[in-house]
A and B are shown apart, each in its own frame.
Chain A
Amino acid sequence: MPLDKEYFEYPHRSYGMDHDYYDWSMLADRAPISWPDGKQVALWVNIALQYFPLNQQGKPFAPTGGMTTAYPDLRHYTLREYGNRIGIFRVLKALDEYGVKPTFAVQTRLAERYPYLINKLLERGDEIICHGYHMDAPHYGGQDRGEEAELVERSLSGLRQITQREIKGWLSPSKSQSFNTPELLVANGVEYMCDWINDELPYTFRTPAGEITAMPLSTELEDRFIIQANLHSESEYADQIIDAFDFLHAEAEETGAGRMLALSIHPWMLGQPHRIGKLEQVLAHIMSHSNVWSASAGEIAGWKA
């Protein structure tokens, strides 16, 4: 039986994108960005603080980094908890040693469970963004709109209440969205989201409720992606991040256009004793350059040159 006639219809085959979320635009064609004080590379270090429930439902897909064995998966539950107990403190030390300003993407369930850790972050004063409710509460295509609206509201209001902060940024669990997610985020006062990985600089994203800034948080350069998904070594992680920085740095110098290096870091991954030294190596290399602007996600998203 041949395919349906519909398979040969191309309703969006025209100039630009096949949706209305954002305009088609090549990075090289845009007006160059200048970061503050003539800095050339903005460094966004995003630390994900996640809670993986032991009773994971995994619907409609298992969360990235989630449970894999039959219940109770103590091995993965505790490996992820390691990040919130041990790894995060090693990571904080490394950040402070090299004068790096982090952004913490916190899941609301984690904030509810671990007030000590949240107070620690609040004392530091770094930016906190909402990373959804927990890893097993995804936003996804086909999700009931009312159900997702409640989830967005609960995640944001809960984190705002606990932190007494505005919370302007958002990172979805497993970087998954429905067609409604951006609109619901705008309706809940979110100014930028970090789920779309189609660019290297912030850009404007449209929703029926108004605009939101897309802040591309590279998956290719994520610790979990390189080490866990690609099974590359710790040394390879350091090589790849350093190569990426050197490349962006050279491109910024050559073109005069500011670049952004977005590092997505999970304390349960890089916070292990055999890996933390590689994070230190990477940060030492980057911060040895005087034209790096270490900034929070909100500062970068809001920067108008």
Chain B
Amino acid sequence: MKEDPGLYDYWPYENRPKIEWPNGARMAFWVAPNIEFYELDPAVNPHRKAWPRPTPDINGYGTRDYGNRVGHTRMMKVLDKYGVRGSISLSTALCEHHPEIIEQCKERDWEFFSHGIYNTRYTYGMDEAQERAMIEDAIETILKHTGQKCAGYLAPALTHTEITMDLFAEAGGIYTCDLFHDDQPTPVHVRGGQKFISVPYSLEMNDTITYVVNKIEPRRYGEMIKANFDRLYAEGADNGVVMCVPLHAYQVSHPHRLRAFEEALEYITGHSDVWVTTGREIAEHYIEHCYDDAVADIAAKAG
């Protein structure tokens, strides 16, 4: 084990090269619905239990299944209303289990990126060949069912190894959502030297972390999103920023929660200098226009 993951260098949030988003926007704003499949009786990983109760843990399973049966349609309707294309963090086996959901996302030109095969299959304990095979399986599944070349990664259930980013970059990926160290994209070191970056995804704005871990009330979540936006939008006048709201249809789409979220989305998309976009579009823009300047600036400041 290492003291530091070695994925990025310290890079202070002042005097950075200016990020210019398309059309002079101050902020790149993206919404990342996690569309997940949790197994009722998954194979056992020795490093992490899938469910707190003995199998079948119908409480945990039913909570997630609700998102696919009930929640997804509601969330999609709200995103449609405000012109937001989702960037889907996808349990890729969902392509096989629930193709109806995949079709609805394809019709809307949403982005699909890999969140592993199932959210109950953890990366912990995999050797290099196993993790590579899992990553490639997910990428191939996305290509086969959606025609998209997967660009982004959020490790299944946020479980990693030391070489997760290396393997994903080698498989052709260009961005990761697994790092929470910044409000702007940053270069990420990978062993193959590919141009690979972190796109801010935000655990703090993640509905599951907010509602479940931090036990935040639905209306307060809406207020938090607006406050997060207000500050980033103000700072974005000087240097382009990224704001992401990661969602789960099994959380935000409950009838006591969705309206408060919708109000926040209405607020954000009511601002003119916001580039409402996807993870891939942010990553491609950054790699093309900002990556080299960033690498040079980081090297200069490391001195």
Contact = CB atoms under 8 A, between A and B. Distances in A.
B43 A241 contact: no
A197 B257 CA distance: 17
B228 interface: no
A236 interface: yes
Given A221-B256, A244-B256, A9 B54 contact: no
Interface string B41-70: 101011000001111111101111110111
B72 A8 contact: no
Contacts of A196: 58, 62
A161 interface: no
B134 A27 contact: no
B62 to A, nearest CB: 4
Contacts of B235: none
Given A13-B97, A241-B256, A247-B255, A197 B70 contact: no
Most buried by B among A14, A229, A240: A240
Interface residues of B, number: 55
B39 A12 contact: yes
Nearest to A175: B59
Contacts of B66: 197-200
A1 B46 CA distance: 11
B97 A14 contact: yes
A99 interface: no
A305 interface: no
Interface stretch (B119-127, B164-172, B266-274, B275-283): B119-127
A93 interface: no
A110 B137 CA distance: 53
A84 to B, nearest CB: 25
A60 interface: yes
Interface stretch (B11-19, B145-153, B213-221): B213-221
Given A243-B260, A244-B255, A15 B97 contact: yes
Contacts of A197: 58-59, 62-63, 66
Interface string A201-216: 0000000000000001
A116 B6 CA distance: 68
Contacts of B129: 2
In order of increasing CB-CB distance, the 8 nearest A-B pairs are A141-B54, A198-B65, A244-B256, A198-B62, A2-B127, A247-B255, A244-B255, A28-B73
22 contacts: A2-B126, A2-B129, A4-B43, A10-B117, A10-B118, A14-B97, A15-B97, A15-B99, A17-B40, A26-B101, A27-B69, A196-B58, A197-B63, A216-B62, A220-B254, A230-B217, A240-B218, A240-B256, A243-B218, A243-B259, A245-B255, A246-B259
Given A13-B96, A141-B55, A247-B259, 6 more contacts: A15-B97, A221-B254, A240-B217, A241-B256, A244-B255, A246-B259
